[in-house]
Structure 1
Amino acid sequence: MSKVTTYINETVEEMRDKVSWPTYSELQRSSVLVLIGSLIFALVVGAMDFVFDSGLTWFYNQF
C-alpha cells in the first residue's frame, strides 16, 4: 500500500511543480486551431463521401 501512496504523492508533486501548463491565451489559440483543423478534415471527408456516393450511384444505375 505504501507504493501506491508514494506513487500518488510523486504524481501530484510532478503535476504541480514540474509540468509546464499553458496560459489561457495559448490554450485558446490551440483550441481554435484544433477546431479549424477538425472542420477542414470533416469537409474533406464529407466531400469524398459525396463524390464516391454519387459515382457509385451513377455506376449502379448503368446496369
Structure 2
Amino acid sequence: MTKVVNYISEAFVELKSNVTWPEWSEVQRLTIIVAIFSILFALATWGVDVVFAKVLGGFFNLLKKA
C-alpha cells in the first residue's frame, strides 16, 4: 500500500514541477473547439445512421413485395 501512496505523491510532485500548463484562455479556446467537433461528429454519425436505416428499410420493403 505504501508503494501506491508513494507513486501518487510522486505523480503530484511531477505534475507541479515538471509539467508546463497552458494558459486559461487557451484551455477555454481548445475546450470550445473540442466541443464543437464532438457535436459535429455526433451529428454526422446520426446522419449516417438515419441514411443507413432508410436504405435498409427500403431494401427490406422491396424484399417483402417481391
Q: TM-score w.r.t. structure 1 length?
A: 0.81
Question: For 1:16 and 1:54, how far apart are their aligned partners in 2?
Answer: 53
Q: Describe the shift of the 1:17–1:51 C-alpha distance in structure 2 as closer, same or farther (beyond 3 A).
A: same
Q: How many residues align?
A: 61
Written as runs of structure 1 = structure 2, the 5 A alignment for 1:1-63 is 1=2, 4=3, 6-62=6-62, 63=64
Which stretches in structure 2 are left out of the alignment for 5+ residues? none
Question: For 1:34 and 1:41, how far apart are their aligned partners in 2?
Answer: 10
Q: Describe the shift of the 1:54–1:22 C-alpha distance in structure 2 as closer, same or farther (beyond 3 A).
A: same
Q: TM-score w.r.t. structure 2 length?
A: 0.78
Question: For 1:57 and 1:16, how far apart are their aligned partners in 2?
Answer: 56
Which stretches in structure 1 are left out of the alignment for 5+ residues? none
Question: For 2:18 and 2:12, how far apart are their aligned partners in 1?
Answer: 10
Quick one: which amino acid aligns to residue 35 of structure 2? L
